Amino acid sequence: MTLNRLSWLRPSSTFLNSAALSSDARWVLFRAGQPLVDSETHALVKLPTTDLAHLIGPSPVFGQTQNDGEVGPTGTKPLAASRLRGPAVVFLGWREPDNAVTEYKHPQTAADLPGTPFFAIALDGVPDSDVDALLQRPDGTQRRFVDARSAGARLDAWDTTLFAVARSMLDWNARMKFCPSCGYKSHSIWGGWRRCCSTQLPWVDRTGHESCPTLKGLHNTEFPRTDPVVIVATTSQDGEQILLGRNKKYSVPYYSLIAGFMEPGESAADAGARELWEEAGVRALQVREIATQPWPHPSNLMIGCRATADATQIPRTDIDDELAEARWFSRAEVLAVLQHPRGTNARGREARPSEIVHGGADDPDPAFLLPPTSAISGVLISNWAHGKE
């Protein structure tokens, strides 16, 4: 099964309201960027609309206007699946059965669409008393909001898909509460996939307010952003050593690949070579792209690269002064950590020294920590260590 985002139906209040009110609809919940998970299975909690009606607010869920209970007219940009009141909500898409429905084009008949519609809701600002009832299941087991990075490392493939879309989109909506073009308030349209300057609402008094540039044309500030980041597995020319760095913010010896944001006008290879020099003082001989991964912290696209460099170069970190250390590691050193049961503990990198639990004489700690394979950095390191491309 896959997530069909049905992007062409996002402007339809009719379709989205029908989907949201369906008995098949399921919602994933976030608070302060943290997902709600089952304390035992660590899976995302997925609740039906009826369990959240008191939080979502009165109908319509989408297409809200100045008046409660009224659905905005179709074909009007500022009211196209608009949400003006209540917690932030995003339509994630439809989990399809094996028979794909990409030809579906009839927003009036959402009930006839096979599969499960998924939505995300942000409970920031919602009173604790309204949320507490959701944290305990009928059988007595608990649910809890957990750190997003550690949660992402434990989710299965399907939950990872939902998590990545939901967290990125809710974060974007939370950050874009004001129009970047004129500074006036903005609101959600298209089921959470577009922002609209609220000066465009027909009942807003624009007296004394300059016309917003977004009134005409198409503007990238109205749509979600994804920031590309290059992350580079740099190996020696003989392939037996790998370059890893340790960030200053970690109090434990956590090492990962050199990474950084792409800049305007750069290719991924150019950005990778630049980051290697700026962060580690190493000149790359060759850089090539090999894989990508969405990274919802908050909304990045990680572009995995492989590079080769002369390992006789002594790494230096004083150029941009971002890393505490960069050094070459042998394959044997890396394999020893990967084979250690605590060697890829993602939470351990952020622990305070007083919080670190050390093994005893019969259970020595790993020499250092590496990223887990839930992150592309961990995959690239593991593949190199095990002789895979």
Condensed to tens digits (0 to 9), the pLDDT of residues 78-109 reads 999 999 999 999 999 999 877 655 555 565 65
- Domain borders along the chain are 3-222, 227-386
Quick check: 363 pLDDT over 90? no
Q: Which residues contact 171 (CB under 8 A, 6 or more apart)?
A: 33, 296, 298, 299
Q: Which residues contact 88 (CB under 8 A, 6 or more apart)?
A: 121, 122, 124, 170, 173, 174, 188, 192
359-363 contacts at long range (C-beta below 8 A, 24 or more positions apart): none
Mean pLDDT of 250-254: 91
> How far is Cα 280 from Cα 264, in angstroms, rounded to an integer?
22
What pLDDT sits at residue 113?
80
Q: Which of 15-19, 205-209, 278-282 has the lowest mean pLDDT?
A: 205-209
- Superfamily for the 227-386 domain: Nucleoside Triphosphate Pyrophosphohydrolase (3.90.79.10)
Quick check: 162 pLDDT over 70? yes
Quick check: 140 pLDDT over 80? no
> How far is Cα 66 from Cα 52, in angstroms, rounded to an integer?
23
**How many CB atoms lie under 10 A from the CB of residue 357?**
8
16 in Cβ contact with 94 (< 8 Å): no
The dihedral region occupied by 76, where left means phi > 0, alpha psi between -120 and 50, and beta the remainder, is beta
Give the model's confidence band at 1: pLDDT under 50 very low, under 70 low, under 90 confident, else very high: low
Give the model's confidence band at 75: pLDDT under 50 very low, under 70 low, under 90 confident, else very high: confident
**β 258-261/227-236 pair status:** antiparallel
DSSP 132: H
Give the model's confidence band at 110: pLDDT under 50 very low, under 70 low, under 90 confident, else very high: low
